[in-house]
Structure 1
Amino acid sequence: MARPASYDRDAALDAAMTLFWAQGYHATSLKDLEATLSMKPGSIYAAFHSKEALFRATLDRYGTRMTSELKALVEQSPSPLEALRDHLLGLADLSPCDRPSTACMLVKSLLEVPREGELRMVIEEHLDRVEAMIAQAFDAAQRKGELRPDCDPARLARRMQTYIFGLKVQAQRETDPDAMRALCRDLADEIGQFSTRPI
């Protein structure tokens, strides 16, 4: 009979995700992981098999949360288009709060890992899921008659995904809250221009 794990897997993944998000994959050492997870090297390898596998698990955790949060925002709103605009407006907060960074962990990781390899594919798959989720929201808005019929939901999704990740990077360097709010409002208004009614 297998012995029950003597650690909280969810807590360990959250701690590792925060560490990788803050420091990056290559700059995070096994010693860093030992200290952050309060686990010995053998226990880390027994639980996650390798540093790369642990990193992939944290990417999965981050990507799933990001997609789920965006999906919930759209589904809970009577207007998919307004929900997307609200998401852009919500990125004006310059404080990382409980996050180690305002920048997206997926984008930071994409810039760090080699262009070829499994890690790159894992990251791109998550980015593709986010884009698909946004495209579905635009498609829903079009079916509701909120989005102009001449608009391409997939093309708008690529545009908005660029806005989202760009705003998260801008929040890393912006120091003026009013300027950040104005930028988010400008980009949200651009999305609003495709509406069939004023929003």
Structure 2
Amino acid sequence: MARPRAFDTDLALERAMELFWRQGYGATPLPQLTARLGIGSGSLYAAFGSKDDLYAQALQRYCEGLVADLEKQMDVAPDVRTALRRVLLTLAAADVSDPERGCLLVNAATERAAHDSTVEQVRSTMAAVESVLTGVLERARERGDLSAAHSPVELARFLTTFIQGLHVMGSARADRPFLESAVSTALKVLD
């Protein structure tokens, strides 16, 4: 009979996500990972599989939270422009306040581009972000808040790409005025 786990796997996964987010996969050695999680390597392997498996689960958690947060933020504003401005400025502020952390999705795409499972997770999350934005833009067009001449899909693809570029510029230490100016210019595509 297997012994019950003596640790909270959800908390351990959260801690692993934070460590991978801050340091990256390659710069996070197994001893540091197990120390941060407060478990031995045997427990890590039993609970999560390999370090790669733990990374994949941590990235999945991040991606699910990112998409859920985007959906929530887009639904609380009175109109699409206000919602997008708020989302983009919030992302810019987070990047300015902690540029070394950046976006785990961007970090994963750049650090683990040779790993098919990571690339697929990034691609799938980008598709989910695009889908959320497309839905919001379609509803805005139906309400007359967005010109019928605009393609919600094309705008969503542009904005999905812009968001990732915003994260990269934040990591490159672009200052707040620079990022705010870029957001203002990007939002002109809705005019």
Please report how far the alpha carbon of residue 189 of structure 1 lies from its aligned counterpart in structure 2 after TM superposition. 4.6
Structure 1 unaligned residues grouped into runs of 5+: none
Q: Deviations over 1:65-91 (max 9, x none)?
A: 111111001112221332012211223
2:50 maps to 1:50: yes
Q: 2:97: which partner in 1?
A: 95
Q: Deviations over 1:129-159 (max 9, x none)?
A: 1121111111121111111101111111111
2:187 maps to 1:191: yes
Distance in 2 (CA, whole Å) between partners of 1:109 and 1:51 is: 14
- For 1:167, the aligned partner's letter is L
Structure in which a larger fraction of residues adopt helix: 2
Please report how far the alpha carbon of residue 175 of structure 1 lies from its aligned counterpart in structure 2 after TM superposition. 6.0
Please report how far the alpha carbon of residue 100 of structure 1 lies from its aligned counterpart in structure 2 after TM superposition. 6.2
Please report how far the alpha carbon of residue 126 of structure 1 lies from its aligned counterpart in structure 2 after TM superposition. 1.4
Structure 2 unaligned residues grouped into runs of 5+: none
Structure 1, 121-130 or 53-62: larger mean CA deviation: 121-130
- For 2:74, the aligned partner's letter is V
Q: Kindly tell me: are residues 121 and 176 of structure 1, through their superposed partners in 2, closer, same or farther at Cα, counting changes over 3 Å?
A: closer
Give 3-state SS (helix, strand or coil) of 1:127's partner: helix
Percent of aligned pairs with the same amino acid: 34
Distance in 1 (CA, whole Å) between partners of 2:183 and 2:120 is: 29
Give 3-state SS (helix, strand or coil) of 1:149's partner: coil
Q: 1:22: which partner in 2?
A: 22
Q: Kindly tell me: are residues 186 and 109 of structure 1, through their superposed partners in 2, closer, same or farther at Cα, counting changes over 3 Å?
A: closer
Q: Kindly tell me: are residues 173 and 190 of structure 1, through their superposed partners in 2, closer, same or farther at Cα, counting changes over 3 Å?
A: closer
Q: Kindly tell me: are residues 114 and 91 of structure 1, through their superposed partners in 2, closer, same or farther at Cα, counting changes over 3 Å?
A: closer
Q: 1:110: which partner in 2?
A: 109
Distance in 2 (CA, whole Å) between partners of 1:30 and 1:128 is: 32
- For 2:133, the aligned partner's letter is I
TM superposition score normalised by structure 1? 0.85
Please report how far the alpha carbon of residue 2 of structure 1 lies from its aligned counterpart in structure 2 after TM superposition. 5.8
Count of residue pairs brought into register by the alignment: 189
Native 8 Å contact 1:81 1:147 kept in 2: no
The two structures, once aligned, show a CA RMSD in angstroms of 2.1
Q: 1:169: which partner in 2?
A: 168
Native 8 Å contact 1:14 1:58 kept in 2: yes
Q: Deviations over 1:156-175 (max 9, x none)?
A: 11111122111222222336
Native 8 Å contact 1:81 1:138 kept in 2: no
Distance in 2 (CA, whole Å) between partners of 1:185 and 1:6 is: 50
Native 8 Å contact 2:92 2:180 kept in 1: yes
Distance in 1 (CA, whole Å) between partners of 2:175 and 2:89 is: 15
Q: Kindly tell me: are residues 77 and 3 of structure 1, through their superposed partners in 2, closer, same or farther at Cα, counting changes over 3 Å?
A: farther
Q: 2:35: which partner in 1?
A: 35
